[in-house]
Structure 1
């Protein structure tokens, strides 16, 4: 008969009697007697999690040396092989009675509970290790991954916060805490409905073929199985670069871009920041993750324009994306300050973030490269316009227009902006004359026809 989690109310009559005796022993602080009763009860009913938790608490109370044995002697020998998880679930309590914080015993309990499909007991085993060793990053990360796997995002976020207390610079925990907090909020607000976040996005046509497999032909179930294997390796050695890269790749294939970003970024750091391709990959995942979230909230707002929470979150995410792109572009320029292409990307990122003054010098430096000169001049014109320096914007764009010999899309954009700026400056005649050049070759370009024809009415 399969072991399942049961509550106090589901205990049989004789088991209820043992439970009451244990509670009475706890009330009188007779913890050793309580341990004896509770261990008997838990062995009879391995799925009685409440009893197992009380047993562990009593063991800690009655074992002053709890935790020291494992740290001094490398843990106790688990009395039963993992090949028989049901026996482990029962007999591991003999080891835990001697040392409730035993790492090896609790790891055995975690593995057995997972094998039996008892995530609550598995989480309790890891929580016990972390209680005995609050700064055990390895087990905290394993616990966070376990919570994420079981869609307990609030618990995962809190676990990542515990990691950050031990190591405020941990990149996985920093990103994981934000991601899990966001997913917990969405779940509490019922954004996820009856399914997970990706299911909701799929229903909203924001993702495609998420459940059908990845580019390498693996199904989602196979990817999750692969991720579970890699997570165990990562828990054993979080600095294993090949494992970290493999985890990042699996998350990418699962279209979980937030976690893919976290692990690609961590892999880049582990490699001594030498592999530029890893950094590029991390940034690409970061942008995809944020863009997916933006698209999701845009769909939420389209369905419910009065949703103030979604509107606020959308605005916040857009601002975060702009700042993230700026930070990445700035870092690239600092690494290679003579690259005009990078200067242009920085200027464009700063413009998109509303930092017009800072964008100007970057775009001026980019203007020296013939291949991006016109684009840089156009962006400079936009910066001057944003700063209400209309005359300088017009002059910059007129210089750009002189260098454009054919009426392509770029020249049309430059001329259109010049025409609009002349109109804003109160020079209606020059505005219409400029826009006529576009009207003569492309009647349907933006609102050129309306602007030009209105001058004749």
Structure 2
């Protein structure tokens, strides 16, 4: 990549056109369990765009599967610690930070949970002001080395410094699980939990009266739109829009209208697919991303409700009962991961933080 190019963290929507095929191929390779190919594509992307965190996360996922790395069973270095050699990358970064990140990725391909290398990765990313990337490096080190509370303390302090008290509280809580006698972690968890609660209250209170009025108006408009057309009329409308969509799948206005129509029909899966596509076409419209997330949750909840109804109607069907229980349990974990990711994408949104708090409680 060009030495004069600004290095910053970017979203998928900001990925240069020249790298979009690599990204598409990488995701397809992961879906086909061809992790070796995915890693090659993703490393090529990161060499050009070191701030593309989604690629960084996906390559680490592929490396963990490819290498067979297991959290808590990280490889041991000469002195019994998990990994080492990070200092050489820090020295390299003083002359060539991007080159150091490329070299780090090659090493993590073999040992993704290596604590020393991930700590070096954190330091380099921090110096480059790639803050979410720096956090990801320490999160990876912590996941692979849960007994290493020194790394976890460093991560918690990083979150405290960024006033991300909810994340700091989570990390401190995990430290206490590993070492109940860690007084600093016990105090940190209580302090950060209190600050996170106050932070959430302040953000909620900062919502202006106009925002509340707009919310009420939007609710009234939505209610009116739902009662304005019958189901048959909505289905006819969807058919008309589908014809326009086939003629031009990249017409954002048509895609949004299709999403809204299927929302009124309460066809959540189809609705979600169109809101997701609308978000892609919009070059990162935050409101569309939030709507897509909302509909995704409704689709998942509806699936569980349908299964609950089927299970209630057939109580002796053990296979169905087991399937329901398994999906209910997995949904709790999925919901927590989704909420954590959404808060990372938009840390100042009070609703997303509330949803995360609820998901943490449910978990």
TM-score (norm 1): 0.40
- Which has more radius of gyration? 1
Aligned match for 1:26, one of 18, 24, 30: 30
Supply the distance in 2 between the matched residues of 1:169 and 1:69 (Cα, whole angstroms): 24
Mapped partners of 2:102, 2:77: distance in 1: 26
Change (3 A) 1:186 1:110: same
Q: Which residue of 1 aligns with 2:94?
A: 83
Please name the residue that 2:106 is paired with.
94
Task: Structure 1: state its 5+ residue gaps.
Answer: 195-457
In structure 2, the residue matched to 1:62 is 66
Candidates 109, 120, 123, aligned match of 2:121: 109
Q: Is 1:53 the counterpart of 2:47 in the alignment?
A: no
SS at match of 1:71: coil
Distance 1:76 1:171, change over 3 A: closer
- For 1:124, the equivalent position in structure 2 comes to 136
Q: Is the 8 A contact 2:63 2:109 kept in 1?
A: yes
Matches within 5 A, 1:321-340: none
Structure 1 residue aligned with 2:148: 136
Aligned equivalent of 2:76: 71
Q: Deviations over 1:97-122 (max 9, x none)?
A: 11111112111110001111121111
Q: Cα distance 1:189–1:52, how it changes in 2: closer, same or farther (>3 A)?
A: same
Cα displacement string for residues 406-435 of structure 1 (whole angstroms, at most 9, x for unaligned residues): xxxxxxxxxxxxxxxxxxxxxxxxxxxxxx
CA-based RMSD of the aligned residues comes to 2.1
Cα distance change on mapping 1:87 and 1:31 into 2, 3 Å: same
Shift of residue 16, structure 1, vs aligned partner: 0.8
Distance 1:192 1:115 in 2: 33
Maintained 8 Å contact 1:70/1:103: no
Q: Higher relative contact order at CA 8 Å, sep ≥6: structure 1 or structure 2?
A: 2
Runs of 4+ in structure 1 off by over 6 angstroms are 191-194
**Would the aligned equivalents of 1:31 and 1:58 in 2 still touch at CA under 8 Å?**
yes
Separation in structure 1 between the aligned mates of residue 84 and residue 187 of structure 2, nearest angstrom: 35
Aligned length: 194
For the 8 Å contact 2:69–2:112, the answer to whether it is kept is no
Q: 1:171 aligns with which of 154, 172, 183?
A: 183
Distance 2:122 2:153 in 1: 14
Q: C-alpha deviations, 1:63-85, integer Å up to 9, x for none?
A: 02567664244525356324233
Give the 3 Å change call, closer, same or farther, for CA 191–92 of structure 1 in structure 2: same
TM-score normalised to the size of structure 2? 0.50
Task: Give 1:87 deviation, angstroms.
Answer: 2.7
1:13 paired with 2:25, answer: no
Q: What is the distance in 1 between the residues matched to 2:203 and 2:22?
A: 44
Q: Which residue of structure 2 aligns with residue 153 of structure 1? A: 165
1:66 and 1:100 in contact (8 A); partners too? no
CA displacement 1:182-201 (0-9 Å, x = unmatched): 1111111116989xxxxxxx
Conserved in 2, the CA contact under 8 Å of 1:82 and 1:111?
no
CA deviation after TM superposition for structure 1 residue 36, in Å: 1.1
The answer to whether the 8 Å contact 2:74/2:145 transfers is no
Measure, in 2, the Cα distance between the counterparts of 1:21 and 1:116.
28
